[in-house]
Amino acid sequence: MEEELVKQTEEAAEEKDKSGGRSSLKKKVGRKALGAAAAVTTGTAVLVNGLFGSPDEMMKAGDEISKPAIVHVVEDISDEDDDETEDEEEEDESGPSTLWERIRAWIWTWPLPLRILIGLPLWALGWGVCQGCHALWNLFLSPFLSALSGVLVLFAVLAGVLALAGRAAFPELPLREVFKKSRLLALGICSALLEALIALLPVMDSELKAYGGLIRFGGGALILTGLMISLWVTRQRRKRYVLANA
């Protein structure tokens, strides 16, 4: 009896694990499908917003393109003019030349209620996404990328000067010792702090903005001085180690 109870308990646990695994798999698949649908909808909305400058263009253009074209008949024209006219008619009959124009023309063929129910919400969603991205770029991304580029340029310049000065002042130290991880980390942190200070100068006082270059030069000199002192300390430690083991 005990063995049967143990088997039943194990079978129940296995079935529970299987059902739990299936439910978790279904949840994962559902989340992926929902994410894919959201991505496709957002991309389509941005596309529709880019194709039509305004909702009126989407709503009215379909009725306008359905109107019959007005044909002007001109008599007594030369053969060359006939050829040019035929070429123009062939180009006009060929329809939209680009993919985006074809998509626009296809959307204009939708009935007006369909354009109102589907096209208009997509255009509004695309407009909201584009406006949000534009505001995000102006508020955060553009200043952040500008500051990041300044930090990277300052880091690269200071690293190059450090390599030249370190090798010239301490030729016995290998280059890997000059560019030790701790020194590179300190150089990166100091470069970021210096650029942050320069960026805050106009906030503290508008007249201090003119001294940004001088502060950058002086701060870079102080950073290099500190790193050169650390290289000197490293060389002294190496000398002591060699003398102690001699």
**Does an H or E element contain 135, and which?**
helix 120-136
Burial 202-214 (b: 16+ CB within 10 A, else e): eeeeeeeeeeeee
Q: What is the pLDDT of residues 97-117, one digit of tens each?
A: 687 788 888 888 888 888 888
> Do 184 and 230 have their domain in common?
yes
Token pair recorded at residue 17: 């694990």
Q: Are residues 91 and 140 in the same domain?
A: no
Lowest mean pLDDT among 38-42, 151-155, 161-165: 38-42
Q: Is the pLDDT of residue 93 over 50?
A: no
pLDDT of 63 > 60? The answer is: no
Residues 236 and 204 in one domain: yes
**Do residues 30 and 75 both lie within one domain?**
no
What is the number of structural domains in the chain?
3
Would you give the distance in Å from CA 110 to the centre of its chain?
Answer: 34
pLDDT of 202 reads 78
pLDDT band at 190 (very low <50, low <70, confident <90, very high): very high
Are residues 233 and 143 both part of a single domain? yes
Residues 11 and 76 in one domain: no
Claim to verify: residue 6 and residue 78 sit in the same structural domain: no
Instruction: Say if residues 233 and 169 touch (Cβ distance below 8 Å).
Output: no
Cα separation, 189 vs 222, in Å, equals 13
Which residue segment(s) compose the domain that 177 sits in? 135-244
**Nearest CA among 8, 6, 4, 27 for reference residue 16:** 8
124 pLDDT exceeds 80? Answer: yes
Domain assignment of residue 127, yes or no? no
Same domain, 238 and 144: yes
Q: Do 4 and 104 fall into the same domain?
A: no
